[in-house]
Amino acid sequence: MALRNAVLRHLRVPVQNLAVTPDVHFQKDLGLDSLDTVEIVMAIEEEFKLEIPDKEADKIDSCSLAIEYVFSHPISVLRGILDSFNSFIENPVGFDYLVTPDVHFQKDLGLDSLDTVEIVMAIEEEFKLEIPDKEADKIDSCSLAIEYVFSHPMSS
């Protein structure tokens, strides 16, 4: 979904009539030029917190190759998710030190249930998710939050 949105932001045709699927080629199917493709790659880098080397970026000319690249770099994606957690953990609850994946919100950080609700709300906002209450109640650590976001098909 996030990749589709990155592609759609750079199209110059009405998107209502366009189905961006994994097999879509940027130039052949969408009529995009090389500059458009560079912009899409840059959007992918920003969206997934990746740094794609120029040699690799030159190879990304379709949605399937972009998807393949993103999924072949789960550590980078995970690092990006963790960076996002660090930024919103620091903001709502006032922590100014690095939050690691194994940090428990209550045991390690001393957060109460209201703080945890704020963190879940920040996760929803940051990753454009709607987390059901039953699932939100289970998220009590960074590792569970990362796992939820990483495995959720609608996260961006």
List the pLDDT tens digit at each of the 156 positions of the chain: 555 555 555 544 444 445 567 788 888 887 888 888 888 888 888 877 778 999 999 999 988 888 888 878 766 656 666 666 566 555 544 554 556 677 788 887 778 888 888 888 888 887 788 899 999 999 888 888 888 887 776 655
pLDDT of residue 14: 47
Which of 50, 57, 119, 51 minimizes the C-alpha distance to 80? 50
Angstrom distance (rounded) from CA 92 to CA 94 = 6
Known catalytic residues?
33
This prediction's pTM: 0.45
pLDDT of residue 59: 93
Could you tell me how many helices (H) and strands (E) the chain has, helices first? 8, 0
Q: What is the CA radius of gyration of the chain?
A: 18
pLDDT of residue 63: 84
pLDDT of residue 137: 92
pLDDT of residue 13: 45
